[in-house]
């Protein structure tokens, strides 16, 4: 990735010079504003996209260090929601004292002209679609579901859908830096937010301040390899859960001493039973627990080891009492489905960004079938379903604008890349790869479970990152925490 020219093009000057009009958000302590960005940076005269921004001003004491932009990942996660619900109140007090905490919902996400592919009822049907098809009929149903989803996105936002790439959102971040009056960007990005931060560094290395990339992605991977390695990540996380489960009294997937591989086989047997006969959930909309929803529920609990107890209880209810409510609740949390049947636009924006950033992992069901052995080797539990889930971009209405690439960011200030050893969604190898690509990358390793590491219970990780954010001193490259 080549950096952009240092001088701001004259046709972008009005965007860089805009002044935000801050107002009360309706959430105590937070202010909100709207920022304009060009829909197409190559042709700014062709229209704008309006981006929602929020901030919580530094509380003091101590000298203000500028703005600290945060992004929770996704792609498709609401950064404004993350700021108001967690970062703005849950980040360490000494960080919030010295920084204005800031977030912008990326283009196409949440409050920033959200892409909406399906309505609530349609999303219910979509999330229940069988992603482990047994025959041509079920394969056809899955393909039709992907096509309907893609067509809905295309109908909803035909212009915006071509301009929700990671590169464009990273450029929006630079606009926000200027609008806030900061000389350099200071940023904490988690998960996909690390790709945004690394992309920013590649485009604007001279404007990098203090960047923390937690739960790192590897931009050099093509979609198929990325999906395959993530599949292996979920298997690693499940094995960790399985070992913990059989140490507990009443593990629904095996008794004390049951090998993790057998725990996985027991779960697969349960999934197969659901495939043949879904179980009730007492859901107000009449949804039953299908194999696809149960699988999503289990995957959702892999993101945070604090959810393992909830997963054990949900699996116990489902396997022993034929009550799928617990697993359905976990699945709904993953999809950001509200009790009234409405969904956030997380899944719509997720596909919109991913399908634009990289060429599709697969172009046909036959290609998926050919790759199934690799995916099932990577994860005997989740491989088949995640392979078929990787077919979604094959039917996307917009051609991809990105491709795999390395990010070096020559000349950037030190960048902290954080990797968790048993991270399900962003495998540890990705953090190693990104830290090695970045000319100023410093790898911080957390030997633990769950997705990301900062503010998740490791005093070692937190102190290293806090010292960097407050004093600009990065941890020693290769530092390990537990």
What is the set of active-site residues? 191, 423, 451
Burial of 275 per CB tally in 10 Å (0-12, 13-18, 19+): middle
Helix (H, G, I), strand (E, B) or coil at 27: coil
Instruction: Tokens for 99, please give them.
Output: 């920084």
Cα angle value 72/383/324 (rounded, 5°): 75
Task: Tell me the DSSP string of 243-272.
Answer: HHHTTSTT-TT--TT--HHHHHHHHHHHHH
| Distance separating alpha carbons of residues 351 and 149, to the nearest angstrom | 10
318 token code pair: 């489902």
HSE value, Cβ hemisphere, 13 Å, CA-based, for 430: 34
The residues facing 32 across adjacent strands are: 23, 54
Instruction: Using only the alpha carbons of the chain, give its radius of gyration.
Output: 22
DSSP class of 44: G
Q: How far apart are CA 450 and CA 448, in angstroms?
A: 7
Q: What span, in angstroms and rounded, lies between the C-alpha atoms of 230 and 237? A: 11
Contact between residue 452 and residue 423 where contact means Cβ atoms under 8 Å apart: yes
CA-CA distance, 25 to 107, in Å (whole number)?
19
Alpha helices in 277-343 (DSSP H): 291-301, 308-320, 325-335
d(CA 363, CA 134): 19
Q: Using CA atoms, how far apart are residues 30 and 13, in angstroms rounded to an integer?
A: 28
């Amino acid at each position: 990735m080549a950096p952009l020219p240092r001088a701001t093009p004259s046709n972008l000057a009005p965007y860089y010079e805009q002044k935000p009009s801050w107002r009360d958000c309706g959430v105590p302590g937070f202010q909100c504003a709207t920022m304009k960005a060009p829909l197409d940076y190559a042709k700014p005269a062709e229209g704008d996209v309006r981006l929602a921004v929020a901030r919580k001003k530094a509380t003091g004491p101590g000298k203000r260090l500028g703005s600290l932009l945060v992004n929770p990942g996704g792609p498709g996660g609401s950064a404004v929601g993350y700021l108001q619900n967690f970062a703005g109140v849950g980040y360490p007090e000494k960080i919030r004292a010295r920084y204005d905490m800031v977030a912008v919902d990326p283009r196409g996400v949440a409050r920033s002209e959200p892409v909406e592919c399906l309505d609530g009822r349609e999303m219910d049907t979509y999330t229940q679609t069988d992603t482990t098809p047994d025959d041509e009929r079920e394969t056809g149903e899955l393909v039709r579901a992907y096509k309907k989803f893609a067509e809905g996105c295309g109908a909803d936002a035909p212009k915006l859908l071509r301009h929700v790439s990671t590169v464009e959102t990273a450029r929006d971040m630079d606009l926000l830096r200027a609008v806030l009056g900061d000389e350099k960007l200071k940023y904490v990005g988690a998960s996909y937010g690390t790709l945004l931060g690394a992309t920013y560094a590649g485009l604007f290395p001279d404007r990098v301040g203090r960047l923390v990339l937690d739960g790192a992605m590897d931009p050099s991977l093509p979609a198929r390899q990325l999906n395959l390695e993530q599949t292996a990540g979920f298997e690693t996380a499940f094995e960790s859960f399985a070992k913990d489960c059989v140490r507990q009294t009443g593990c629904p997937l095996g008794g004390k001493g049951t090998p993790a591989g057998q725990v996985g086989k027991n779960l697969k047997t349960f999934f197969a039973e659901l495939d043949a006969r879904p179980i009730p959930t007492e859901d107000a909309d009449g949804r039953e627990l299908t194999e696809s929803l149960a699988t999503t529920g289990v995957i959702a609990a892999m993101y945070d080891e604090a959810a393992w107890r909830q997963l054990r209880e949900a699996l116990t209810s489902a396997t022993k009492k034929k009550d799928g409510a617990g697993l359905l609740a976990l699945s709904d949390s993953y999809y950001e489905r509200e009790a009234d049947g409405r969904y956030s636009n997380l899944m719509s924006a997720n596909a919109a960004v991913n399908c634009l950033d990289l060429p599709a992992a697969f172009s046909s069901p036959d290609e998926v079938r050919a790759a199934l052995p690799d995916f099932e080797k990577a994860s005997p539990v989740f491989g088949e379903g995640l392979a078929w889930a990787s077919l979604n971009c094959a039917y996307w209405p917009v051609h991809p604008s990105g491709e795999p690439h390395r990010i070096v960011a020559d000349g950037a200030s030190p960048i902290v890349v954080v990797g968790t050893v048993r991270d399900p969604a962003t495998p540890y190898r990705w953090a190693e790869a990104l830290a090695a690509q970045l000319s100023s990358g410093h790898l911080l390793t957390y030997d633990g479970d769950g997705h990301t590491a900062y503010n998740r219970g490791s005093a070692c990780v937190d102190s290293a990152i806090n010292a960097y954010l407050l004093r600009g001193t990065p941890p020693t490259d290769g530092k390990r925490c537990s």
